[in-house]
A and B are shown apart, each in its own frame.
Chain A
Amino acid sequence: GENVEQHPSTLSVQEGDSAVIKCTYSDSASNYFPWYKQELGKGPQLIIDIRSNVGEKKDQRIAVTLNKTAKHFSLHITETQPEDSAVYFCAARAVTGNQFYFGTGTSLTVIP
């Protein structure tokens, strides 16, 4: 099955700086890559996603890039704010079925 690896596991940045989280996947047929933000005691919340026919997608301070050849995708958060502090998960969708394979998470801390 699909294997998704995520780095780094923890990330601390100063408020206003940028944060980048990277993921790789193993199944070249995976075709949909969402990113989720999980705050303490809550379920993951979808923040942005990208399909395999697109190389980049941006939504205000958040952007995702996809390199299908290298089988990696990244989350970019610019002008970070303290409320961005949370655990972020990348995921890849299996070609068969609808399940997602998740990375192990990145704990982001934005220091005021």
Chain B
Amino acid sequence: GAGVSQSPRYKVAKRGQDVALRCDPISGHVSLFWYQQALGQGPEFLTYFQNEAQLDKSGLPSDRFFAERPEGSVSTLKIQRTQQEDSAVYLCATTLGTGIGYGYTFGSGTRLTVV
């Protein structure tokens, strides 16, 4: 596609509910990142994929967070037993390559509100 597509755009979840957030990257983009952006803050790294391999998941805040990219294209971020502190915008970003100078192309994000 022409850009990074994220769905849903908005998600309201009751506390304790599981949610799944989807990212459709630009075709051919090798690297895929998930970031969490709290209100009024900069994005914070969650996890990184190179093709289907999850090379870095050091930013995932707890074992309730899980991400996958099984075929090296579409990725899903899953949050189990959501809590209020999980409320944020979840951004997906992709890059064509892995070397220096490859800036991100971000999607518009999924705004998650946990009530």
Contacts and interface: CB of A to CB of B under 8 A. Distances in A.
Interface string B78-115: 00000000000001010100101111111111000000
B98 A99 contact: no
A102 to B, nearest CB: 3
Nearest to B98: A98
A99 B59 contact: yes
A105 B41 contact: yes
B56 to A, nearest CB: 5
Interface stretch (B11-19, B43-51, B67-75): B43-51
Interface size class of A (residues with CB under 8 A): 20 to 34
Q: Which of A4, A44, A49 has the most CB of B within 10 A?
A: A44
Grouping DSSP codes into helix (H, G, I), strand (E, B) and loop, the A interface class, with mixed when no group exceeds half, is strand
Contacts of B45: 99-101
A5 to B, nearest CB: 11
Contact of B101 (A32, A45, A91, A101): A32
A73 interface: no
B48 A97 contact: yes
A22 interface: no
Which 3 pairs between the two chains have the least Cβ-Cβ distance?
A: A102-B42, A43-B106, A46-B103
Given A6-B42, A104-B41, 20 more contacts: A4-B42, A32-B100, A34-B103, A36-B104, A42-B109, A43-B106, A44-B43, A51-B101, A89-B42, A91-B42, A93-B100, A98-B31, A98-B33, A98-B48, A99-B33, A99-B45, A100-B43, A100-B45, A100-B104, A105-B42
Interface of B: 4, 31, 33, 40-45, 48, 55-56, 59, 91, 93, 95, 98, 100-109
